[in-house]
Structure 1
Amino acid sequence: MLFDMNNLHAAITSLLTPVIAILIASVAFAVLESGIAIGERLFGLRQMRQSASDAVIKTARHRLERADLLARIPPMLGLMATIIPLGPGLAALGQGNPAQLAQAVTTAFDATVLGLIAGIAGLVIGKLRRRWYEDVLESLES
């Protein structure tokens, strides 16, 4: 056999800690990105209206890509971190250890929430920025 299922299970289980670390970093990045967006709304858009449209397009593209990644990747990682602990938790339940299942479910739900927080922030920031940049570009064209 090319691979052993126990090794595969161990490898997948070992992904939980890095995925949760990335989720925590994603929430921190979402908070940072929210602060940048607030500053951009209060001060940056005025400066953009005085810039060349090529510079605005380049800046907009870069910032929208960051928001789009934030909106898409953390929810997927949250799903991964939801599913990974449920396998061992269900196995523990089969062995008569409901406390381990309870811990696995708690970890799974916490990971889901982290992914959704970061994803929602990315979605909102992206939608707002698209509207802001369209307004700036329209004012530059006129």
Structure 2
Amino acid sequence: MTEPFQTRTLPESVDAIAPDQSEIRFLVQVEGGSMVHCCLPVGAVSLAVTHRTVEEVWYVLSGQGELWRQQGEQQQIVTLQPGLSLSIPLGTHFQFRNTGRDPLQFIIVTMPPWPGADEAVRVPDYWPTS
């Protein structure tokens, strides 16, 4: 259970490295969901993953990139740019990359709250990683 009221400023330092290798800074969490700030450095490509139990919604703050997502036979590549919001439904395979000159930064809300590193399962990469 979380505190009844939470207020948090974006931390300067990284709190965790996500299973996909992006940089995570923890924000607030409630019983039904959690929020983090995600950053992918210039030139970086995440690892492709799918989630066991959570869904996500993203809001891009800054930078440029691309997101590949696939569920069953349906797949798409989305250009990530400031102001864009999108969903990662349960069971979606996804991978993202920074194609710009600045860090790619976005907010992620996870429902239910992120349970831990075992939540993400590696799937075959769409883009090669270094």
More helix by share: 1
TM-score by length of 2: 0.22
Q: Looking at both structures, which has the greater relative contact order when contacts are Cα pairs under 8 Å and sequence separation is at least 6?
A: 1
TM-score by length of 1: 0.21
More strand by share: 2
Question: Highest Rg: 1 or 2?
Answer: 1
